[in-house]
């Protein structure tokens, strides 16, 4: 009668050898499998390369779309504010002249020395992440948004329009 210890050792030895036999294969088959893989990727017209190149050629140019949305938001709200605040001068014909070519705009940040000065002077202005200054002729407009105006067409959080006036300290002397 064999001892249980001897049967356990034989069982482990037999089970341990089976995976070794299962993993071995014919060396000729291993070499030909590697050659097939090399042939597929050496071919210049492989489908994965074609797919990759097509994908990057057809990506939309989001910069153009984002700039158009930003200009639409800024000019639209500038026109609305001009119509409200200077209704006499801003006729429909004059408002048609307000285009992206006729205005200048720039994104401003709250850590700018000039914006900190504006915050000290105009306490009611609330700073947000997306703030812009847009200039058209003698009109200066501060517009702030809660979300990115280059991604979404939206209403502004706050609009502040000021007019460029003649300097009150320049006095013209009357003729003698």
- CA nearest to 140, candidates 158, 160, 110: 160
- CA nearest to 161, candidates 122, 110, 128: 122
pLDDT at 39 over 70: no
Here the tokens at position 69 are 């949305």
pLDDT computed for residue 174 by the predictor: 73
Whether residue 137 lies inside any domain: the answer is yes
Whether residue 172 lies inside any domain: the answer is no
pLDDT digits (tens, 9 = 90+) for 101-152: 999 999 999 899 999 998 898 888 888 899 999 999 889 999 999 999 999 8
- pTM for this entry: 0.61
**Comparing 55 with 144, which gets the higher pLDDT?**
144
Return mean pLDDT, the chain: 81
Whether residue 8 lies inside any domain: the answer is no
pLDDT computed for residue 168 by the predictor: 65
Say what percent of the chain tops pLDDT 70. Answer: 72
Q: Which domain holds residue 147?
A: 62-163
- In angstroms, how far is CA 35 from the centroid of its own chain? 45
- Using CA of residue 89, residue 92, residue 95, residue 96, what is the dihedral sign? negative
Whether residue 69 lies inside any domain: the answer is yes
Q: Scanning the structure block, which residue is given the tokens 């200048």?
A: 104
Whether residue 22 lies inside any domain: the answer is no
How many domains, in total, are found in the chain? 1
Whether residue 13 lies inside any domain: the answer is no
Whether residue 67 lies inside any domain: the answer is yes
Angle at 127 between CA 122 and CA 128, to 5 degrees: 160
Whether 149 contacts 160, CB under 8 Å? no
């Amino acid at each position: 009668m064999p001892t249980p210890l001897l049967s356990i050792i034989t069982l482990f030895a037999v089970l341990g050898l089976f995976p070794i036999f299962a993993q071995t294969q014919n060396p000729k088959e291993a070499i030909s499998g590697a050659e097939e893989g090399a042939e597929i990727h050496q071919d210049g017209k492989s489908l994965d390369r074609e797919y990759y190149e097509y994908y990057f050629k057809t990506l939309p140019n989001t910069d153009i779309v984002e700039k158009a949305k930003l200009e639409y938001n800024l000019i639209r709200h500038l026109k609305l504010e001009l119509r409200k605040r200077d209704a006499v001068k801003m006729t429909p014909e004059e408002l048609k002249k307000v285009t992206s070519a006729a205005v200048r705009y720039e994104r401003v940040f709250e850590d700018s020395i000039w914006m900190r000065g504006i915050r000290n002077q105009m306490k009611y202005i609330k700073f947000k992440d997306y703030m812009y200054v847009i200039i058209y002729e003698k009109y200066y407009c501060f517009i702030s948004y809660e979300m990115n105006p280059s991604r979404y067409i939206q209403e502004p959080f706050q609009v502040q329009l000021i007019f460029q006036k003649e300097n009150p300290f320049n006095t013209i002397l009357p003729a003698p």
